[in-house]
A and B are shown apart, each in its own frame.
Chain A
Amino acid sequence: QSAGGEAVNENKFLNTDSSTGSAETTVKPLPFKDPNFIHSGIGGAAAGKKNRTWKNLKQILASERALPWQLNDPSYFNIDAPPSFKPAKKYSDISGLPANYTDPQSKLRFSTIEEFAYIRMLPSDVVTGYLALRKATSIVS
């Protein structure tokens, strides 16, 4: 009977098996593994110490891009959704209501007078937090 395929999400890191492959150093014999298996990830270009050179997603995608794709082939980076064409609607940072106004001092958006009073009383780290949530922090400061 087939084993179940669970939704293993391979999007991020490739550490699919947390147990190490080198059987020489395991304490107890793992029942399913072939005892002589050494993963090809071990012994990469960097000598010796960092045996397990897993690549993270950026590295994988970078090396994938270098392969000879045809123009129409689907690949992991091809299928990213395009940026939006419609202008973004503005919502208040505090309450989420549609915001018509922006505080010039802190650049937070608000929709009512009470929110404005609340914004003016906020400590600066909360202000930066709200802006960072919207990815609107200024690069310079």
Chain B
Amino acid sequence: QGCVDHPIVLTEAVCNPLYSRQMMSELLFECYQVPKVSYGVDSLYSFYHNRKQNWPCSGLVISSGYQCTHILPVLDGRLDAKNCKRINLGGCQAAVYLQRLLQLKYPGHFAAITLSRMEEILHEHSYVAEDYIEELQKWRCPEYYENNVHKMQLPFSNKLLGSTLTSEEKQEKKQQQLRRLQELNARRREEKLQLDQERLDRLLYVQELLEDGQMDQFHKALVELNMDSAEELQSYINKLSVSVEQTKQKILQSEVNIEVDVVDSKPETPDLDPLGSEQSLEDVESINEFEPLFAEEQPEAEKPVAAVQPVFNLAEYHQLFLGTERIRAPEIVFQPSLIGEDQAGIAETMQYVLERYSKEQQDVLVQNVFLTGGNMMYPGLKGRVQKELLEMRPFQSSFQVHLASNPVLDAWYGARDWAVEYMNREEGWITRKDYEEKGGEYLKEHCASNVYVPIRLPKQAPRSAESSASSKGQASGTGTPSEQA
């Protein structure tokens, strides 16, 4: 029909930039003709879902998702946005860290260590240590390691030590190279033969000059040839004719040899004439580089390329051993210095946030610490947060830590509960009329939403003159909740 008929509840980031909200509203209202829209923060919806009985309540919401972790103090049902903090680490960064660790540890399996396998490891085999240093000490001793190391078996691949060819392909390659080499040699010999022949002819002609008695021409020719006497000329002629004969013989021989079975013959090394042509140097180099290739391929062909070799346990080669990696990867949200981030971890940020409140408010917040988000599902995480709180709270003060009933899906359940309850009420929904009057970045606050800061963004008009520059509207009617006294 060209439109969407029902209202939409959508989650957005904490303190979503106004530009993003404007884009989203524009899409929803103008493209999809949605009647009314409500924006909220996912962790607050989750909080709402878990605490509906005694709403409005206060607490410290710690939500850790795929990309980032938020610490959100909630006072009397409303988010205290001024004091929120966000750590830019989440499940994604943990997976990437684990992947790089394993790739560096097992460089042979670089391609087999994929992100999805890392996520599987994180979901199923990792846990958070309650006391990180103590856990690490436990991992030092070998029996603990043997008992608790997790071995991941990678699928078997035939790529052993980088050689990707089967034995037939290798033979083929060798034969091809042999043939090429022989052709090259034959061609070179022919060229050399030709040159030598020409030179021989020239020398013979000069000799004839001598025999015919034309002394001047003979001497001139000698000088041209850079020779001193007739005897030298004669000796040159002899040597040349001998080498010409040899080359001719070799050409004949090599033509015969090509028919012979290629695998058994060794490559022919051309016997380069010591007087030889100018190309000899390059020839030597290229043939030399063929030679080592041949030398190393031949012995390999002899060794059986069998799957089982005595010293080498193939099954183990394809296994990844996860020891301390199991606790290192989830630890980055607590200690971002593990990957070089200079933000503070969860514990320190919690302390920082709590210190911005008065003592009574701190107590209120700490009574209701709420953990949510997919990255919070490691076993042992709740205990870890409790221990951190114990370290930072004053002596003998109480605190309570709760985990969401279903950290991954609670945000959706919370949004559903909210929508069901507020379906026909006015508050919290941005209608189409509001959008048109007040612009895309308008937000109506409700119990699970961001705080609205009334700044008008210039509406992006397609290629026409821009509308008025941003101006500050009146103070938001719903008002921000009071902060510390």
Contacts and interface: CB of A to CB of B under 8 A. Distances in A.
A32 B29 CA distance: 12
B460 interface: yes
Interface string B1-22: 1111011111111111111100
Interface stretch (B132-140, B159-167, B207-215, B283-291): B132-140
Given A2-B423, A74-B451, A60 B340 contact: no
Contacts of B221: none
Interface string A1-37: 1111111111110101100010000000001111101
Contacts of A130: 104
Given A69-B453, A82-B352, A96-B324, A6 B472 contact: no
Contacts of A9: 13, 65-67
A104 interface: no
A134 B340 CA distance: 5
B84 A74 contact: yes
B227 interface: no
A138 B481 CA distance: 47
A5 B45 contact: yes
B2 A33 contact: yes
Contact of A73 (B12, B87, B136, B453): B453
B343 A2 contact: no
A10 B139 contact: no
Given A7-B11, A32-B32, A79-B86, A89 B337 contact: yes
Candidate in B24, B45, B337, B338 with the most chain A CB atoms within 10 angstroms: B337
Interface in B86-104: 86-88, 97, 100-101, 103-104
B460 A44 contact: yes
A15 B463 CA distance: 21
Interface residues of B, number: 94
Contacts of A16: 23-24, 27
Contacts of B462: 38, 40, 42-43
A98 B136 contact: yes
Interface in A34-71: 34-35, 37-44, 55, 60-61, 63-64, 67-70
B348 interface: yes
Contacts of B11: 5-8
A8 B337 contact: no
Given A44-B460, A80-B85, A4 B416 contact: yes
A98 B134 CA distance: 10
B67 A83 contact: no
Contact of B324 (A4, A43, A72, A95): A95
B81 interface: yes
Nearest to B472: A68
Given A34-B32, A43-B462, A60-B19, A96 B328 contact: yes
A129 B341 CA distance: 16
A83 B85 contact: no
B445 interface: no
Contacts of B4: 32
Interface in A93-118: 94-98
A139 interface: no
Say which size band chain A's interface belongs to.
35 or more
A35 to B, nearest CB: 6
Contacts of A135: 339-341
Contact of B344 (A5, A85, A94, A126): A85
Interface in B304-350: 323-325, 327-328, 335-345, 348-349
A11 B68 contact: yes
Given A3-B9, A136-B340, A72 B82 contact: yes
B86 to A, nearest CB: 5
Nearest to B81: A74
A60 B412 contact: no
A124 interface: no
Contact of B15 (A42, A78, A98): A78
A10 B26 contact: no
Contact of B455 (A61, A68, A91): A68
Candidate in A42, A79, A133 with the most chain B CB atoms within 10 angstroms: A79
Interface of B: 1-4, 6-20, 23-24, 26-27, 30-33, 38, 40, 42, 45, 65-68, 70-71, 81-82, 84-88, 97, 100-101, 103-105, 107, 133, 136-137, 139-140, 323-325, 327-328, 335-345, 348-349, 352, 411-412, 415-416, 419-420, 423, 450-451, 453, 455, 457, 459-463, 470, 472
Interface of A: 1-12, 14, 16-17, 21, 31-35, 37-44, 55, 60-61, 63-64, 67-70, 72-76, 78-86, 88-89, 91, 94-98, 123, 126, 129-130, 133-136
4 closest A-B pairs by CB:
A135-B340, A88-B337, A2-B419, A74-B81
30 contacts: A2-B420, A5-B9, A5-B411, A7-B11, A7-B411, A10-B20, A11-B68, A14-B20, A16-B23, A33-B31, A39-B27, A60-B17, A64-B17, A67-B470, A69-B455, A74-B84, A80-B85, A81-B71, A81-B343, A84-B336, A84-B348, A91-B136, A91-B338, A95-B323, A96-B325, A97-B137, A97-B324, A129-B100, A129-B104, A133-B100
Given A7-B42, A37-B31, 18 more contacts: A4-B9, A4-B412, A4-B415, A4-B416, A5-B38, A8-B10, A34-B2, A34-B33, A60-B20, A64-B19, A74-B451, A75-B15, A80-B88, A81-B343, A81-B344, A82-B85, A86-B348, A97-B139
